[in-house]
Amino acid sequence: MNRDRLRKQLVAHEGLRLKPYRDTVGKLTIGVGRNLDDVGVTEDEALGLLDGDVDRVEGHLRAAVPCFGSLDDVRQRVLADMAFNLGVPGLLKFKAALAAVAARKFDEAAAEMLASAWAGQVKGRAETLARMMRTGAD
């Protein structure tokens, strides 16, 4: 079977939708007719999406947080984890924490993280990330 021709045929018949939608029978669908309600995604597909999301978040952080590239791996991962959860615009609202990071005042940055409403929402995640920010260790 010519897979390239089949893909083109299916795109023509099913359409290509990059955001989830409800199909004609109410099933949550994405892409080229992928029924998320009944089929979902495979682990490999989910991890492939994650790789793309990590690339996107890292690129946004490098552009939006001037000190990001000069941070050690652990602290870069803290900011990336927060940005993944909050979105980069949400992370950028942590002005005092980010100023402390830029000044290399990591204890202060961790305290600012824990004093936020976000910390109350994500609890253990915030505690782990604040410890990582404070210590520079996993």
Strand ranges in 23-99 using DSSP code E only, listed in sequence order: 28-31, 34-35
Distance from C-alpha of 13 to C-alpha of 32, rounded to nearest angstrom: 9
The helix (run of H) or strand (run of E) holding residue 21 is strand 17-22
This prediction's pTM: 0.90
The CATH class of the 43-135 domain is mainly alpha
* Residue ranges of domains in the chain: 3-35, 43-135
pLDDT in tens, the chain (138 residues): 999 999 999 999 999 999 999 999 999 999 999 999 999 999 999 999 999 999 999 999 999 999 999 999 999 999 999 999 999 999 999 999 999 999 999 999 999 999 999 999 999 999 999 999 999 999
H or E stretch at 47? helix 43-64
